[in-house]
Amino acid sequence: MNHVSLVLVSHSEEIAEGLKKLLEQVAPNVDIAAAGGNNGEIGTNALHIQEAIESVCSEKGTVVLFDLGSALLNAELALEMAGGKERVRIADAPLVEGAYIAAVEAGLGKPLEEVVQACEAAKQIVKIEK
């Protein structure tokens, strides 16, 4: 794996999988895993997230993006269960916009910290000028 990889964590399996499908079209050279839902229901699952991280873990690094608060808790638990992977960062970014930017930056071969900074900057995006 020559690029930073991404893990998408959502309370909805459909949201995570749909976003993954979108990003694979934007950045086909970036490995992306979706960890959505909890055994067919709404929620998140630390074991599922851990498996997703391990499935795309890259020597260049991995960025984990999440939708809501408890997804963060399970992502942190997943990292602990995976042995605290040194090159994995949980980004404080909006899921859709942040993941899109992360995919583009990773696809351009940017290093882990630049990918994280770029996707976290998505919090500042103004969609409608008032």
Q: Containing H/E element for 15?
A: helix 13-26
pLDDT of residue 1: 57
Side chain identity at 68, as an amino acid letter?
Answer: L
Q: Please tell me the predicted confidence (pLDDT) of residue 69.
A: 84
The structure's pTM equals: 0.94
Residue-range domains of the chain with CATH: 5-124 (3.40.50.510)
The reported pLDDT for the residue numbered 99 is: 98
Express each pLDDT in 59-104 by its tens digit. 999 999 999 888 999 999 998 887 767 789 999 999 999 999 999 9
48-78 as b/e: b if 16+ CB within 10 A:
bbbbbbbebbbebbbbbbbbeeebbebbbbb
With a CB cutoff of 8 Å and minimum separation 6, the contacts of 82 are 50, 53, 54, 88
Give the tens place of pLDDT for each residue, 104-125.
999 999 999 999 999 999 999 9
Residues tagged active-site: 11
- Integer Cα distance of 94 and 85 in angstroms: 23
Would the pLDDT of 2 be above 90? no
pLDDT, tens digit, 9 for 90 and up, residues 5-44:
999 999 999 999 999 999 999 999 999 999 999 988 999 9
